[in-house]
Amino acid sequence: MSIVRIALDVPLSTLFDYTVAEGVVVAIGQRVIVPFGRRQMVGVVMECVATTDVSPERIKPVLQVLLDSAPLSAGLLDLLRFCSDYYRYPIGQTVLPALPARLRSDKPIISKPILSYRLSASGAALDLDSFPKRKVVQRRILAKLAEQPCNLAQLKALSTTAGAQLKTLEQQGWVESFSPAPSLSLDRTTSHSTRPSKNDGQVAGYPAKGGGEQIAQHTFDNAHILTSEQQLAVDSITQASGYACFLLHGITGSGKTEVYVHLMHHVLQRGGQVLLLVPEINLTPQLENYFRSRFPDVNLISLHSGLSEGERLHNWQQAQLGAAQIVLGTRLSVFAELPKLALIIVDEEHDSSFKQQDGLRYSARDVAIFRANQRGVPIVLGSATPSLESYHNAQSGRYQMLKLTGRALAAARLPAVRCININQTVMHHGISENLLREIGQRIVRREQSLIFINRRGYAPVLMCTGCGWLSGCKHCAGKMVLHLKDQRLRCHHCGYQVRVPHACPSCGNADLHPVGSGTQRVESVLQERFPDARILRVDRDSTRNKRAWQAMREQIHANEVDILVGTQMLAKGHDFPALTLVGVLNPDSALYSSDFRAAEKLFAQLVQVAGRAGRADKPGEVLIQTAFPEHPLFRALQTHDFEGWAASQLAERQMAGFPPFVYQAMLRAEGKQENEVYRYLNEARTAAVTLSRSLEIPGQVEIFGVVPAAMPRRANHIRAQLLIQSTTRKGLQQFLRAWQPLLDALTAQKLRCSLDIDPLEF
């Protein structure tokens, strides 16, 4: 009898031991169904061991081995183990959520493609001549599969009992099923992809760099001759042997995407797989179409949360088989099986959407770097505004810096950036006269304007002019946002909403005033000023419907829109050729925020949104409304000086002792009882302080005080946090590893607690 150690999706940092009946073959990485308490659960076999601490009367058997999908590779399991350890999160809750939902359910997966069968490695090693002669049907099946993989219908042609015999062969481990790639006959580049993928995550046939590379064929639309900077970037990356991390720092419109295309071409020619990570699900359909147009007969799939469970499973399995040559996905796709992975690209690497904010709080960018290292392949981080972490690493030589300093299209200039001092100009409900005039000129010239304001709704708060009452949320520390269209006050933190009151709830005064502006108010101010203009508002409210955003993009491209009003949804990656003016309202709150990353984020956002202007042959202009026109951030924007800005930010961070010069972990707790929240965090802190005195670790560990969260009350929960930081990553990791059992020993009933490693939000 053998024992397997199983990862289960339960909040305990341990594997669970089960027995396997005699004769049943279980591979590491295989999914199994096991009894757990009164339930049955799907788990993943992480280890096969000889002994267990569980007593013989208590240990239970594996109920079923799921053979409907190939086992997870050892490489992927290693990656997940690393994440569980690094992010201090239970192994089972790391492994299972990384899989498509269908693979986590104990119902058999019904995937559209018909399963095929092939010999496993041990099946291929069988000597048919010495195989028992009386097992006629099994012999026939083995012989047939030795020629080529077949589906069940084809095998049933051999014998009516083929189905049952096939099962037996599968249970013996000689035959395995897989879902074939539908387009295999078309793409010659993956002709060897039907071979069983080896369990170490590498396909044996994948040619090593240098020696005798086989050139595979695919159609490549080589649309552009690369600029010399682009060519240098492509050459540097394709010449890398093994792991290397490149920071591709290219201004907006410099042709980073074109660099990716050429890198993909290089990898595809050699039969490898490319993983391209993008921050936003909204961007994937566009990019998908774009890359399809460049590689018309290549098998490209996307992986993101917008897919149906069936599509997700199908695409995931395509990646797992090595049939998907380009995998385009949001953060979760960093955990896709990629047996022939040869290159990872992280586009917009600075984007905070790569960080997961619940469950396993991983940074997909950082995990991607680890994975590239583990697999010995190059990784490219692309951005116009790299994160200070990555930029610092490139400067210190840990990453290789590659720069694209000019726009790819010679005619496309970077936009001119100007500030409008809101204290020295006439304002109309938050929009300056200068900006309105500029918009008017664009309408006359049939060009588009974009007004960027990072607030949806009509006004962020409603105020009573009599007593100063503000529309606070009764469940949160925040304010309720006025949504005039549906006459509601809505809390954007907890979702609570009420009808707009007719009179002040505090003093009865009927004179209530909206304070500040959101997208709806900007829209109505503009509509009043330009009654004939076609105005389109793009925010989460107007794009709630799944297809709305797609339809809106088409409208914009067809030049059926004069003025776009939108939030950061509009800032990212979109290419609107007729857009020549960008107006930025209200950026100032980020300049003096308590969040030390606020300025970095604002700079990146403004560069992005500014980059939307003047992409084609028409020059663009950006107007920023601010009370601080002399602020260094705006100066740097005006001179397009990322380097100078980053250098000053890094100097400040170093002085203040902030990342990337220190490494941080944040313990958060929230609960209904304030004293419980603070008791827990204070006990955690006491344990940490005691521990830090006894522990020998590299660097220093600094333990801060317990403080309220930035939003100290949300949905009736009191929220507080405790920051730990260290001068070395290793030191912090060692400390956290020792601290964890002490945390687990504290009572935290009725509290929601989480440990966030490399937190982005404060």
Q: CB under 6 A: which stretch of 248-256, 331-339, 425-433, 527-535 binds ligand ADP?
A: 248-256
Q: CB under 5 to 8 A by kind: which of Zn ion, ligand ADP, none does 73 bind? A: none
- Quick check: helix, strand or coil at residue 654? helix
Per CB under 5 A, does 509 bind Zn ion? yes
Task: State which H helix or E strand residue 493 sits in.
Answer: none
Residue 503 interacting with Zn ion (CB under 5 A): no
From the list 138-146, 508-516, 518-526, 675-683, the region that binds Zn ion by CB under 5 A is 508-516
DSSP calls for 497-542:
EEEPPSS-TTT--S-EEEES--HHHHHHHHHHH-TTS-EEEESTTT
Q: How far is the CB of 620 from ligand ADP (least distance, A)?
A: 13
* Coil vs helix vs strand at 286: helix
d(CA 669, CA 748): 9
CB of 425 to ligand ADP, least distance (A): 32
Largest CA distance in the chain: 98
d(CA 383, CA 347) in angstroms, rounded, equals 6
**Nearer to ligand ADP among residue 227 and residue 733 (C-beta):** 227
Residues across the chain: 762
Quickly list DSSP for 167-232: HHHHHHTSEEEEPPPTTTTT-GGGTTTTSPPPTTS--TTSPPSSTTPPPPP-------PPPHHHHH
CA neighbor of 231 nearest in space, from 377, 400, 382, 404? 404
Task: Kindly state the helix (H) or strand (E) to which residue 6 belongs, with its residue range.
Answer: strand 2-8
Which partner in Zn ion, ligand ADP, none is near 466 (CB below 5 to 8 A by kind)? Zn ion
Member of 94, 165, 179, 227 binding ligand ADP (CB under 6 A) = 227
The window from 14-22, 206-214, 246-254, 643-651 that contacts ligand ADP (CB under 6 A) reads: 246-254
CB of 751 to Zn ion, least distance (A): 20
With binding defined as CB under 6 A, does residue 232 bind ligand ADP?
no
Should residue 224 be labelled a site residue for ligand ADP when binding is judged by CB under 6 A? yes
Listed ranges 160-168, 305-313, 463-471, 716-724: which one lies at the site for Zn ion (CB under 5 A)? 463-471
Show the tokens assigned to 451. Answer: 């007004």
Nearest CB to ligand ADP, comparing residues 169 and 226: 226
User: Of Zn ion, ligand ADP, none, which one does residue 504 interact with (CB within 5 to 8 Å by kind)?
Assistant: Zn ion
> Which residues make Cβ contacts (< 8 Å) with residue 324, sequence separation at least 6?
181, 273, 299, 300, 301, 315, 318
Between 252 and 400, whose beta carbon lies closer to ligand ADP? Answer: 252
Instruction: Judge whether 246 and 237 are in contact, CB under 8 Å.
Output: yes
Q: Is 230 in the site for ligand ADP (CB under 6 A)?
A: yes
Going by C-beta distance under 8 Å and a sequence separation of 6 or more, which residues neighbour residue 528?
A: none
- Which region among 139-147, 175-183, 374-382, 506-514 touches Zn ion (by CB under 5 A)? 506-514
Is 255 a binding residue for ligand ADP by CB under 6 A? The answer is yes
Backbone angles phi, psi at 523, to 5 degrees: -60, -45
494 binding Zn ion? (CB under 5 A): yes
For the bound state, the minimum distance from the C-beta of residue 476 to Zn ion, rounded and expressed in Å, comes to 3
540 binds ligand ADP (CB under 6 A): no
Nearest-CA neighbor of 372 among 297, 442, 267, 483?
A: 267
Min CB(519)–Zn ion separation in Å: 20
Nearer to ligand ADP, 264 or 504 (CB): 264
409 forms part of the interface with ligand ADP (CB under 6 A): yes
Q: Please select the residue that binds ligand ADP; options are 30, 73, 193, 257, rule is CB under 6 A.
A: 257
Closer of 1 and 410 to ligand ADP (Cβ): 410
What's the closest the beta carbon of residue 541 comes to Zn ion, in angstroms? 17
Q: Which residues are within 8 A (CB) of 235 and not within 5 positions of it... i.e. 6 or more apart?
A: none
Q: Residues 180, 253, 378, 620: which binds ligand ADP (CB under 6 A)? A: 253
Rounded distance, CA 605 to CA 80, Å? Answer: 32
- Strand 244-250, strand 2-8: pairing: unpaired
Q: Which entry of Zn ion, ligand ADP, none binds 258, CB below 5 to 8 A by partner kind? A: ligand ADP
What gap in Å lies between CA 23 and CA 20, rounded to an integer? 8
Contact stretch for Zn ion (CB under 5 A) within 158-166, 327-335, 372-380, 458-466: 458-466
Chain centroid to Cα 470, Å, comes to 37
Using CB under 6 A as the binding rule, whether residue 258 contacts ligand ADP is answered as: yes
Closest to Zn ion by CB, 422 or 480: 480
Estimate the share of the chain in helix, then strand, then coil, as percent rounded to the nearest 5: 35, 25, 45
User: In this structure, are strands 461-464 and 512-515 parallel, antiparallel, or unpaired?
Assistant: antiparallel
Q: Determine, following the binding rule CB under 5 A, whether residue 707 of this chain makes contact with Zn ion.
A: no
Nearer to ligand ADP, 176 or 258 (CB): 258
Ranges of beta strands (E only) in 280-384 are 300-303, 326-329, 341-347, 378-383
Residue with Cβ nearer Zn ion (494 or 706)? 494
In whole angstroms, the minimum distance from the beta carbon of 258 to ligand ADP comes to 4
Nearest-5° Cα angle at 119, 113 to 124: 160
The entry of Zn ion, ligand ADP, none that residue 273 binds, CB within 5 to 8 Å by partner kind: none
Tell me the C-alpha distance between 42 and 33, whole Å. 5
Closest distance between ligand ADP and the C-beta of residue 403, in Å?
A: 12
234: partner contacted, choices Zn ion, ligand ADP, none (Cβ within 5-8 A by kind): none
Least distance (Å) between residue 599 CB and ligand ADP: 23
Question: 68 vs 541, which CB is nearer to Zn ion?
Answer: 541
Inter-residue contact 295 to 267 (CB < 8 Å): no
Sole binder of ligand ADP in the list 341, 346, 408, 720 (CB under 6 A): 408
> Minimum distance between the CB of residue 617 and ligand ADP, rounded to whole angstroms?
11
> Candidates 52-60, 138-146, 224-232, 583-591 — which segment interacts with ligand ADP by CB under 6 A?
224-232
Binding site for Zn ion (CB under 5 A): 464, 466-467, 469, 473, 475-476, 491, 493-494, 496, 504, 506-507, 509
Binding site for ligand ADP (CB under 6 A): 224-227, 230, 250, 252-258, 408-409
